[in-house]
Amino acid sequence: MPPGLIPCRRRPAAPSPGYTDGPSPAGSPVRAGPSREEPARAGPGAPRPAGRAGQAGRARTYRAARPLRRRSRFLYKNPGGVQAPFLANLLILLVFGLIMLFSASYATGYYYDGDSYEYIRPQFLYALLGLGVMWMVSYLDYHWLRQWAYPFYTLALVLLVLVLIPGLGKTVNGCTRWIKIEGVPMPSIQPSEVAKFAIILLTAHLLTSHSKRLKNFFYVIVLPIALLLPIELLLHMEPHNSAIILMAGILFIMLWAGGVAKRWFFMGAGAGS
Backbone angles phi, psi at 179, to 5 degrees: -100, 115
Please report the pLDDT score of residue 41 as a whole number. Answer: 54
DSSP-derived 3-state class of residue 75: strand
Q: Which of 117, 118, 140, 126 is nearest to 94 (CA)?
A: 126
Task: Please tell me the distance from the alpha carbon of residue 181 to that of residue 94, in angstroms, as a whole number.
Answer: 29
pLDDT tens digits, the chain, 273 residues: what are they?
Answer: 555 555 555 555 555 454 444 555 554 454 544 444 445 555 555 555 555 555 555 545 444 444 445 565 667 676 677 788 988 999 999 999 999 999 999 888 888 888 888 889 999 999 999 999 988 888 888 888 888 999 999 999 999 999 999 888 888 888 899 998 777 777 788 999 999 999 999 999 999 998 888 888 898 889 999 999 999 999 999 999 999 999 999 999 999 998 888 888 888 777 766
Please report the pLDDT score of residue 123 as a whole number. Answer: 92
pLDDT digits (tens, 9 = 90+) for 215-258: 888 988 899 999 999 999 999 999 999 999 999 999 999 999 98
HSE toward the beta carbon, residue 73, CA cutoff 13 A: 7
HSE toward the beta carbon, residue 159, CA cutoff 13 A: 20
DSSP-derived 3-state class of residue 69: coil
Q: Taking the CB of residue 171, how many other CB atoms lie within 10 A of it?
A: 13
Q: What are 140's strand-pairing partners? A: 75
Task: Please tell me the distance from the alpha carbon of residue 47 to that of residue 50, in angstroms, as a whole number.
Answer: 9
